[in-house]
Every structure is written in C-alpha cells, then in structure tokens.
C-alpha cells in the first residue's frame, strides 16, 4: 500500500483484527491509519466468516452484533456489506438479519461451485423468508483468488449472467483461499489493463463504490426467493459430530445463562450481570462457527482447539448459571448440609411446561417427578404426582414390547424397530404396513472430491440396513412416570450402537437416547422413519423460522437436494396429520417420498484421519400429531427436547410459582432475554414469528418495566420506536417470520 496508493484491500473478520490488535499493536496502528485513508477496508460486519447454515438464529445475530460493534469501536464505522465468499450455502433468514444489522448488500461466490445446476445470476436481489431483500453480487470470474490475468478478466465479462441489466462487476484478486494477498506483479498487470483495446476497462475500487454503481443500475435486476442452497459439500451437515454437538449445547448454555442472569438482576439489586464473561464465551462460540470449523472440514489440530473451547464454555457457563440461580432463588435454596425436602425447577423457555424430570433423592438415588413450570420462571415440586394415565410397558409373547402413555401407543420388535406408532385419540397409525421405523442404515461414503466436505448422491445406492443384533430389546423401566427399553446392535465391521427408547407420561413424542462406539472408515450412518403420510413437501426448521423443500426429485434442482440441513426438527404433514422428527444435536436430514431420515455419523479420512472415531451420544425423537405442525406444537416440543428443565434442591416446603415473561400467542417465540449492550439498566428481548402468519401478540412480564422501545439487532432504538405499556403488557405486531427486538428499561 505504501508503494501503491491506489491499492484497496478488503478484510472481513473482526476476530482477525482483534488478534492483530492483541499481539501486534505496532502493525495494528498502521492498519488503523490505512483504514482511515480508505485503503484497508473492513467488510463483512461479522465476528468471523461463519457457516451460513448451521449456527442458530441468535448465533447469527451475535456474529453481526460482535462484529459491527468491534468495527464501530475500532474504526468509527460499521460495515455496509456482508462479505462471505466461501461458505457452504446461505440460510433464507440471512437477508432479514443483514437488514437488522445495518447491511443491505451481500457478496459471495460459492454458488458457482454448484455440482448440478448453474446458478442463473451474478447480480440480483435476494429475498428472505420474511420478504426482506438485499442486493447480492457474485463476482462473475467465479473465484475469490484470481491473479489479475487477461483470461480471468475476459471470463469475468463474458461469464456475467446479468450483462445488460448491469454493466459493472467485481474482480477479487490475490493469493490465498479467500485471503486475497495481492502481489506487485498482479497490480502492474492491472494497471496495464486499465485502458487497453480489446480488454474490459479495469479500475481499482472499493466494495462501496461497486455496490453504489450496482444500486444505480439495479432497476432491471431479477429476484431470487428463499435459500441459496449449495449443491456440493452436503457432508458438512454431519462431519465431526462432536463439534456439531458442542455448538448446539453451547448455544443452549449461553441462552440459559443470559435468561437466568437477567432475571437475577431484576430480582436482586446486588447481583451483577456477567457481561464481560458472556462476551468472552460468545466470542469463543462464534469463532468455532467459522466456515471450516463448525462444518467439520478442518484439520485435527483445529478440532482439538474447538472441543477445548466448548469445554471452556460449558465449564464457565455452568458456574455462571449456578451463580444466577443462587441469586434468583436465594430464599428458596437449601444450605448444602440439610437433607433434600423438595426440588425447585426452573424453565428458561417462554411457555408453560409439564414434564417428567429426574431429581436427586435423599439417599443419592434419582427419583422421577412430574412437574408443571410456568414460562421463563420456576415452581416447586413437592409430593410425587402420579398422572391420570401412567406409562404402561408390556412384553408380548413374540418378544416385542408395547408402550403407551395416554397420548401415543408404540410397538417395538426385538431389534428396536418401531412397527407401530399410533395417536391414541384418533387411532391414526404412523408406520406403514410392513415397514420398520427407527431403522438404521449404513451407506458407503466415498466422495468424488473432498472427503470431509462432500457426500454424493450415489451413496444412496449402497444402502445396507443394520441387522446384526447384539442384545435384544429388554424392559429397563416398567412404567409409571417413565417407561424405557434397551437394545444393542453391531454397526458395520466393528462399531456398536446401544439405544434406550423412552416414553414419558403426558409426552407427545418417543425419545431415542443413543450411544455409538464408532470405528468405521468411509461409512455414513442414518436412521430412517417411513411414515404413513403423503405430501410433496417436507418442512425443516431454519434460523428463526422454517422452510419447505420437495420430497420428490422431479427436476435437477429438486434432486440436487438429496441431503439437506435442518435445525431442531423436520416434519412431513398432510392435511390433518403429520409426523415430526426432533433432535438435540444433528443437522443433516432428508425427506424423500414418505421416508424421513436423520444423518447421524460419517467417517471421512481427510483432512482429519481421526474424524468422528470414538464415542457419541445423542437423542432424537419422533412425534406423530393431529393437524398441522404449528397447531400440534412441534416447534415448542423441539425446543423442550433441546432445553431441559433445571432441577435444584430447595429448602422451603412451599413457594408460589413465578413467571418472568410470557407471550399470548403460540406463533411467537421469545428467543432471547439479555442485558442491553450499552445500558445496564435495560433488557433486550428478541421474539420471532414461527408459524408463518400475521399475528398480534401480547408480551407480559413481571419485571418492573418503565419504558419499552423497538430496536434493531444492533440494539439501536428505532425512530418512533416507543411502545405503549398497557395493562395486558406490550402489544406487538408480526408478519410471517418477522424477528423483533425490544429494549425494556427497568425501574430500579
């Protein structure tokens, strides 16, 4: 830059700036000078260039919140472009999240890697599931590491699929995988190309100059609606299962710590919200969401680091949670010396829950209790409460076992297959005649290109059902509040799978607690649920919402989605009835015809030869339901599976149940409760519309709120954002999949 004042360099990750700031302050001061001159340009607005599919909605918000706040503090400005050249697909919720963080422009190029269909645009408007639109540009050279050669320039112009609609495009040059290190030779070549007959006119520019020109030319641009699905690298939804599990668990831990700490601050004037510790833990989690870490496409050293970071988040998170609970329930919790009299149960989710919990008994054994806990609050469990319809478990003459709980009835054969799954109130059967659900299948998994990244459609032709029984089905809990059965299988040559199938009183789903000793190479393990449902689309949860994907392979676009990603649930429904699959740490899935499938484990050998070898534990669940998944509460049940109730020993014999927040509509999920970044006396609550409906809802709180203001995702108050505080609470209006943040100022 000192020798080439015209050179402009875009750098996209706040984390990298932070490392340079910590370790190389002299170099950092020079970077700051060049940022002030407009040559070194921070872009992206996120903490790292994260994976575009697997982080939760709240994690994506925090990527922008941490990134944009860092750029504002360090350089006096936030980024106006989201810059994510190399990630493995882009969630349909991203346009709305960009808008909420001060960004309306997006640059990437990864869809040029599509294996099946050529993406039809290079410059277009991208529309998310809520209707938000961002101006999007894919550099037509289809690369983020060009070297300024003549043939690359000619390709950039010739290849541009929106020629005529726009007359400008970007050319990203430099060495490195998205690092873009320019050399003097490249710069000299481009100077010569700035005005040469027969070549496109080339000029050094900035992202802002490029997008400003594209905005002026944008009146004829096309619009792409929904997700930008990369037709390659589908293996990244499953590879390195421990990293996927760590991500999901740590997202939950940080959610719970924030909720409980916020409530503790409101209840206890002495308690300090752990803002700096939470920022540190969030930044560790966000770092692990980089687009080669969370997807599992990283080397072994990185895996070791990532797992260590998750351990640190779990450890520190557990301590912060305990401190918040001790403060929140100071008068109710017992001194350690006294014998357990009762149990206090805390619920961090925004709806009332009635569930079976296990709690420590006086003699150290675990006892079960059925408890009802109000939304975002707590209640005391006293005497064991026996439900009107306890779980019944019965062994049949042929060795099969039936379980029922008044809601669903199941029949399992000795191999642990589900041969029947009925809704008792309607008698509707979920498993087709002659089919087995909870069927494990092993596939050969040898990709064409990149081991950890890819899984190919031809793997589907190598399906082998897992049929080697090690221990037949046996009853482990005979019923009452909980019934359970257990069996073991051999998987492949040398792996073993043990599963406990659990049915709780009043629970609408059947749980599968699974342990695997995994020792395979180039194998892919899935579990399949054929269901008696006919629909051309299945529904999958994504960040702050859901979307539908086809269950058929009519076109090459449909067929290219043979393996897709989802978050906590997927559902196949016809009118009046459906079946959902829930999970606590899996992301790979598919629904082809009437078979719902969850991807469990892979065994790639590159770039980490030890990937996934070892012990795994995970839970999934199957939930048949009447009506639509929205009416049946599938969304809430999937949250319940992922966010267990917290049980702590208490000393008091009685205390009234307490709720901090509740929402009047089941369509609205109160996702986040945290202290505001810049106002310790204020709380930020983030809600989203989860059903795909237009709805007005009341947010009620027992916290002492004196003022409520709508804000964006960076917590900047909206113009005319003040809300009326009414007797019923706050009246909030939502359109489908709308994410809403509100600043609540508390009176002390």
Pairing label, strands 391-395, 353-360:
unpaired
Q: What is the 3-state secondary structure (H, E, C) of 555-588?
A: CHHHHCCCCEECCCEEEEEECCEEEEEEECCCCE
24 token code pair: 């190389």
308 token code pair: 């260590």
How many angstroms separate the CA atoms of 53 and 568, rounded?
Answer: 13
User: What's the Rg (C-alpha) of the chain?
Assistant: 27
Residue 580: closest CA among 506, 567, 403: 567
What one-character-per-residue DSSP string does 48-84 give? S-B-SSSS-HHHHHHHHHHHHHHHHHHHS---SEEE-
How many angstroms separate the CA atoms of 43 and 67, rounded?
Answer: 10
Contacts of 598 (CB under 8 A, 6+ apart): 526, 527, 581, 583, 586, 588, 589, 620
Task: Kindly provide the residue ranges of all beta strands, DSSP E only, lying in 537-689, ordered along the sequence.
Answer: 537-542, 545-550, 564-565, 569-574, 577-583, 588-592, 595-602, 614-626, 646-650, 658-659, 661-663, 668-675, 682-689
SS3 713: coil
Please indicate whether residue 584 is annotated as part of the active site.
no
Task: Decide: residue 338, CB within 10 A, 0-12 exposed, 13-18 middle, 19+ buried.
Answer: exposed
Contacts of 250 (CB under 8 A, 6+ apart): 281, 285, 310, 313, 314, 317
Q: What is the separation of C-alpha 65 from the centre of its chain, rounded to a whole number of angstroms?
A: 17
Q: Which residue has the tokens 């050319």?
A: 171
How many angstroms separate the CA atoms of 487 and 465, rounded?
Answer: 16
What one-character-per-residue DSSP string does 5-56 give? TT--EEEEEHHHHHHHHHH-HHHHHHHHHHHHHTSEEEEEEESS-B-SSSS-
Contact 363, 295 (CB under 8 A): no
SS3 376: coil
How many angstroms separate the CA atoms of 652 and 649, rounded?
Answer: 10
SS3 245: helix
Largest CA distance in the chain: 89
- Torsion sign, CA atoms 728, 732, 737, 740: negative
Q: One of 86, 305, 457, 558 is an active-site residue; which one? A: 86
Q: Which residue has the tokens 């073993």?
A: 496
Catalytic residue numbers, as ranges: 86
């Amino acid at each position: 830059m000192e020798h080439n004042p015209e050179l402009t360099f875009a750098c996209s990750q706040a984390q990298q700036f932070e490392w340079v700031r910590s370790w190389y302050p002299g170099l950092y001061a020079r970077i700051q000078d060049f940022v002030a001159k407009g040559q070194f340009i921070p872009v992206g607005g996120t903490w790292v260039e994260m994976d575009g599919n697997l982080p939760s909605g709240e994690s994506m918000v925090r990527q922008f919140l941490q990134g944009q706040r860092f750029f504002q503090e360090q350089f006096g400005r936030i980024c106006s472009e989201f810059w994510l050249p190399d990630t493995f697909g882009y969630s349909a919720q991203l346009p709305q999240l960009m808008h909420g963080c001060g960004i309306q422009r997006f640059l990437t190029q990864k869809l040029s890697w599509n294996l099946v269909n050529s993406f039809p645009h290079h410059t277009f408007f991208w529309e998310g599931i809520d209707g938000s639109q961002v101006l999007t540009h894919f550099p037509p050279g289809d690369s983020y590491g060009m070297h300024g050669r003549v043939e690359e320039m000619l390709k950039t112009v010739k290849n541009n699929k929106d020629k005529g609609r726009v007359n400008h495009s970007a050319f990203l040059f430099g060495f490195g995988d998205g690092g873009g290190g320019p050399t003097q030779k490249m710069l000299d070549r481009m100077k010569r190309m700035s005005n040469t007959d027969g070549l496109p006119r080339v000029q050094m520019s900035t992202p802002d100059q490029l997008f400003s020109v594209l905005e002026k030319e944008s009146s004829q641009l096309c619009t792409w609606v929904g997700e930008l699905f990369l037709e390659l690298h589908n293996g990244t939804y499953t590879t390195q299962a421990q990293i996927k599990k760590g991500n999901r668990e740590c997202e939950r831990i940080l959610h719970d710590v924030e909720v409980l700490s916020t409530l503790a601050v409101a209840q206890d004037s002495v308690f300090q919200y752990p803002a700096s510790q939470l920022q540190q833990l969030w930044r560790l989690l966000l770092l692990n969401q980089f687009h080669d870490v969370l997807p599992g496409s990283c080397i072994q050293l990185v895996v070791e680091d990532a797992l260590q970071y998750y351990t640190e988040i779990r450890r520190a998170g557990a301590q912060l949670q305990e401190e918040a609970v001790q403060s929140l329930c100071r008068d109710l919790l017992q001194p350690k010396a006294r014998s357990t009299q009762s149990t206090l149960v805390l619920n961090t989710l925004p709806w009332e829950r009635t569930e079976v919990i296990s709690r420590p008994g006086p003699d150290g054994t675990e006892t079960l209790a059925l408890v009802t806990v109000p939304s975002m609050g707590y209640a005391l469990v006293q005497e064991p409460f026996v439900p009107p319809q306890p779980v019944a478990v019965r062994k049949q003459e042929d060795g099969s076992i039936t379980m029922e709980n008044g809601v669903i009835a199941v029949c399992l054969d000795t191999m642990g297959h589900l041969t029947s799954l009925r809704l008792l109130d309607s008698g509707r059967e979920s498993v087709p005649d002659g089919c087995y659900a909870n069927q494990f299948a092993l596939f050969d998994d040898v990709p064409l290109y990149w081991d950890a990244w890819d899984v190919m459609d031809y793997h589907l032709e190598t399906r082998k059902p897992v049929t080697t029984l090690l221990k037949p089905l046996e009853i482990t809990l005979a019923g009452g509040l909980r019934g359970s059965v257990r069996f073991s299988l051999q998987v492949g040559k040398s792996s073993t799978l043990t599963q406990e199938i659990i049915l709780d009183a009043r629970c609408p789903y059947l749980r599968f607690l699974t342990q695997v000793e995994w020792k395979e190479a180039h194998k892919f393990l899935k579990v399949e649920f054929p269901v008696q449902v006919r629909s051309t689309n299945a529904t999958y949860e994504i960040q702050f919402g859901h979307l539908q994907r086809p269950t058929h392979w009519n076109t090459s676009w449909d067929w290219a989605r043979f393996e897709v990603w989802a978050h906590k649930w997927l559902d196949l429904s016809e009118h009046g009835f459906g079946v959902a699959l829930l999970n606590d740490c899996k992301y790979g899935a598919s629904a082809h015809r009437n078979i719902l499938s969850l991807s469990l484990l892979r065994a790639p050998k590159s770039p980490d030869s030890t990937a996934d070898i070892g012990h795994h534990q995970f839970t999934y669940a199957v939930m048949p339901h009447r009506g639509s998944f929205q009416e049946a509460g599938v969304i809430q049940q999937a949250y319940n599976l992922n966010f267990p109730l917290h049980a702590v020993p208490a000393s008091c014999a009685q205390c009234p149940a307490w709720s901090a927040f509740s929402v009047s509509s089941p369509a609205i999920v109160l996702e986040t409760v945290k202290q505001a970044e810049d106002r310790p006396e204020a709380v930020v609550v983030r809600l989203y519309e989860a059903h795909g409906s237009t709805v007005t809802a009341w947010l009620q709180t027992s916290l002492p709120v004196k003022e409520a203001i709508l804000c964006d995702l960076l917590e900047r108050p909206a113009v005319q954002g003040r809300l009326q505080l009414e007797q019923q609470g706050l009246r909030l209006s939502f359109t489908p999949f709308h994410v809403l943040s509100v600043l609540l100022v508390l009176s002390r």
